[in-house]
Structure 1
């Protein structure tokens, strides 16, 4: 790069997580990176926002006692410098499928940036574990080599190439680093949804069952989806839009007219 990019880096695992440190080290080789990230784990907070947050100076930038969306607003509106790009991650665990887009703190940070008209990249890493939560896994910086390699490349080249003229943000999911770099597939979010609930006395346990069938030999997600690409060992890049668009159609127009007639609304 001739002129160093300004990047705002955040996450939802917390400012001391291994994933954000790995991205900070990689991105800092080619950009000016300011970290504004949560004090602690804020996974699955979506775009939850706070009215007031404490800010703590940190060796990487700023630790915010709030959500990833709080961090983006605080970073872009006040703590700045105003960046060319927002990067969120690297999340310790994948963020795959349509239903995750509004739930994930990692992805929601990218969506929040889109409302500021700042392009963004959300990067997450698929961790294939049989039992227990991803949070129980101890990660080393080398585990994120796949994530840092592709995110650094996209951060360095996507703006100039015009990628963000057609996408508000990129949702990037990578496999754990292997012996060789993984290939990339441009994908769409999977539509699969298998949330379940089971009552045990006064407790209802919620379970996301899509993770029970990530075996590439049997995964039901179709070709071209983010979930299948990652399960088969490829990097998934989904170019996505924000905010949500409307779908105007004649049936709803007729229903609205019927309502207005039934309650006596005068013609406009």
Structure 2
């Protein structure tokens, strides 16, 4: 990267979060970084989009009163110089598995960039929790050291290496630093899905059981998946595509051929 290399930086935790500040500081040493990020926490909002949003000037760039997808559209189309790369993160909390891809605001920012034909990196920090509620876990700038290291490394090298000729974006999940640099593993999203629901009168509580088994010995996810890699202390990098692809289905072709003969009763 050089001073004329442009990065649009966003997230879903909000522009004042520690994760985006640490990435801004690291990436700004190598490139021109424009921040366009939500004014507040918009976690798990997916690719929700707004018709109109307010924008405030911020010391890092622009605070948008909207979603990460809003930020990417506004940043690419209006607020900043058109970038060479979009970076989303660093998110407090991992974004692992196929079922998360459409739910995460961090991932959705990268997907939005893909529709503009801009390569993107989405970076998230895996934060193990025991009995402490996730929102009460304190994460410092030092805890993002591995995340900033790998994101800067990929931002510097992935484009020139031709990575984005085959992938629209990279979903990066990083363990907390333990004193030694973590190895990097190229992974695929886990297919594991364990959502359920429980009714109590007028309320239904949704439970994500995936997080109940997150130790290397108990983890059912197979080798090569993003969840297993990060639980084993590795940096997980999943190269992913967007827009979604379609497959040829002979059964649907047959239904289409028969459709003209169907009459409404």
Q: Which band: TM-score by shorter chain?
A: over 0.9
Partners of 1:35 and 1:160 lie apart in 2 by 23
CA contact (8 A) 1:121 1:171 kept: yes
CA contact (8 A) 1:46 1:105 kept: yes
Partners of 2:132 and 2:111 lie apart in 1 by 29
DSSP 3-state at the match of 1:74: helix
Partners of 1:63 and 1:95 lie apart in 2 by 23
DSSP 3-state at the match of 1:258: helix
CA contact (8 A) 1:92 1:126 kept: yes
Give the C-alpha shift of residue 258 in structure 1. 2.1
Partners of 2:27 and 2:3 lie apart in 1 by 14
Matches within 5 A, 1:249-260: 249-260=249-260
Partners of 1:132 and 1:71 lie apart in 2 by 32
Matches within 5 A, 1:19-34: 19-34=19-34
Partners of 2:64 and 2:133 lie apart in 1 by 25
Partners of 1:29 and 1:17 lie apart in 2 by 19
Structure 2 equivalent of residue 92 of structure 1: 92
Structure 2 equivalent of residue 79 of structure 1: 79
Structure 1 equivalent of residue 243 of structure 2: 243
Partners of 1:262 and 1:162 lie apart in 2 by 49
Pairing 1:227–2:224 present: no
Matches within 5 A, 1:57-206: 57-206=57-206
Give the C-alpha shift of residue 139 in structure 1. 1.5
Give the C-alpha shift of residue 117 in structure 1. 0.3
CA contact (8 A) 2:2 2:30 kept: no
Partners of 2:133 and 2:67 lie apart in 1 by 21
DSSP 3-state at the match of 2:261: helix
Partners of 1:132 and 1:261 lie apart in 2 by 61
Partners of 1:138 and 1:251 lie apart in 2 by 52
Give the C-alpha shift of residue 138 in structure 1. 1.8
TM-score (ref. length: structure 2): 0.97
Give the C-alpha shift of residue 134 in structure 1. 2.6
CA contact (8 A) 1:4 1:30 kept: no
Runs of 4+ in 1 over 4 A off after TM superposition: none
Structure 1 residues not aligned, in runs of 5+: none
- Between 198-207 and 95-104, the greater mean CA deviation after superposition: 198-207
Structure 1 equivalent of residue 49 of structure 2: 49
Partners of 2:2 and 2:138 lie apart in 1 by 37
Deviations 1:81-106 (A, max 9, x none): 11000000000000000010000000
Deviations 1:163-217 (A, max 9, x none): 1011000000000111101001100000000001011111111111000011111
Deviations 1:1-59 (A, max 9, x none): 35541000000000000000010000001010000000000001000000000000000
Partners of 2:136 and 2:63 lie apart in 1 by 23
Partners of 2:2 and 2:109 lie apart in 1 by 28
Structure 2 residues not aligned, in runs of 5+: none
DSSP 3-state at the match of 1:262: coil
